[in-house]
Structure formats: structure tokens, C-alpha cells
Amino acid sequence: MTLGRRTGTVDAMVKRIGTFKMNSNPARHPSRPERISPAAIPQRFARQTWSICRQVLIVLCLPVMLASCYLPEAFTIDLSMERNGDYRLSYRGLLVQPNITQGLLDKSLDAEGEKEKVAKVLADLKRDSAVRQLTYTGRGVFNMVYEKRGNIMREKSFVFVRRQSRILEMFFNSERNTVEIRGGFVPDQYQDRLTALGYQMTGKIEVRTTAGVRSHNAVEFREINGQNRLRWEIQSISDPVPNVILG
């Protein structure tokens, strides 16, 4: 099975997907993303104020789950996907662990406590063999290089970085023969609070695929030599949640 084409007998739906005509401006109506609860806000590691991101995407965090919650910052996500479902995903950038940063801010975490929590975070993240590089830069901030290969049709779904910290997720719908790729979401009522505190997200997402694009909300969409290329630039906590449906 492929994203829109099968060998042998082809049913009506697959044939329609396989001949889906792409253009420079597909419909842009992403489905409703999952919402998140407010998390403790981390501090930006070296500047005036802690400036940590929220979104591309982002995170499902509850206060009681802070120990296992991660927030992305200053990142680049690169995703390529073929019609047969094969994909390659890379994440290069920062991850902030808010339980550590908040503890350092309110003085409830001393140097020894910080060391213990950092060790737990490193052990947790390194359980994933796709983590290529991971270093602690201080104040709850980790520098990560992540590279993953897989097939979304076999896996059915994929979540980065954790199910309770959804920075990017993908789902395969076998009935429609489509793949949805989307980020997380911060409720409107928390955006003013984060902005007032000086928090913002900076990041870039690029998707390249030979599959058709049914809908998207990318800031840039191009078709080059049979390959669709989409790009998002996250510059504000109020930016739209990245979303694209392939098929």
C-alpha cells in the first residue's frame, strides 16, 4: 500500500487519491489539534528573560506531569515522506524541561537536585535510539539532535517527543488512505500570559513529499520536480498550529 497508489487492483478511493491533482494552493482547513493545559514556564537560558517556546507544535502538559514534559525552542524540524509511507524525520534544537527551570527560578531546586533531575531526563530521552546527540546546557535546557526513520503505514501513528509532550505527531488513516501531520496547541487564554512574561517560540518546519497534498496551512508550498515542499516558520505563540494532510 502507498499514499495514494497500490499495485494490482485499485479501488475507487485509492484511484481518486492517486490522481489527486496538486496545485500551488491546496485547501487549507486543518483539523482541530489536541489542546494542552498550561505548564510551568521555563526561563530562557542566557538572556534577559526566559524565552521558551510553545507551539509548532507543542506539548500536552499538565502541572502534575512536569517531570516528563518537554518544550521545544530554537528548533528545525525536517520531514521527508514517500508515497509508500517511508519517512525520515530530524529535529535539531533545544528542549526545555520546565520542572527543572521552575525549580531553579523559585529556588526550590539546589545544585544537587538539579543534577539528579538532569540525569533522569537524559536517561528518559536516551531510551529512544533515534536520539543522536543530547547535552545539558543549564537551566533546564537540553540541546538535541534527533533522527528517525520509519514507515507510517506500518506504524499507524508516531509522536515526537513523548505522548505527554507532543511536539509533532503523524497519523495514518487506512480508510481514507491519508496521513495527517500536525503540531500541538496552546489555548487562547494562556497566550496573553505567556506573551506578557516574554515567552515566544522560534522554529522552522519543512516537509518534503512525493504524496499528494490535500490540505495544509504552510506559509510556503511549492511543487518541484514531482516533489511537494511545505515550510512553516514559527515566530509567535499565536501562530497557527502546523497541519498538513497527505494523500
DSSP string covering 67-105: GG--EEEEEEEEEEE-TTSEEEEEEEEEEE-HHHHHHHH
137 in a structural domain = yes
Is residue 7 situated within a structural domain?
no
Using DSSP's 3-state secondary structure scheme, residue 102 falls into helix
4 part of a folded domain: no
Q: Is residue 29 part of a domain?
A: no
In a domain, 28, yes or no: no
> Would you say residue 92 lies in a domain?
yes
Whole-Å CA distances, 184 to 32, 37, 160, 164: 10, 11, 11, 11
Classify residue 72: in a domain, yes or no: yes
**Range of the structural domain that residue 53 is part of:** 12-23+40-246
pLDDT at 77: 97
**Total-model pTM:** 0.73
Q: Tell me if 154 is assigned to some domain.
A: yes
pLDDT in tens, the chain (247 residues): 445 443 333 333 333 323 344 444 565 544 444 443 444 434 444 343 333 443 333 333 434 444 567 878 899 999 999 999 999 999 999 998 878 887 888 889 999 999 999 999 999 999 999 999 999 999 888 999 999 999 999 999 999 998 888 899 999 999 999 999 998 665 576 566 545 444 567 899 999 999 999 999 999 999 999 999 999 999 877 788 999 999 9
CA 44 to CA 47: how far, in whole Å? 6
pLDDT given at position 169:
96
How far apart CA 137 and CA 174 sit, in angstroms, is: 42
What is the count of structural domains for the chain?
Answer: 1
Helix pair 98-105, 111-125: axis angle to 10 deg: 170
C-alpha cell of 29?
Answer: 482547513
Amino acid occupying residue 242? P
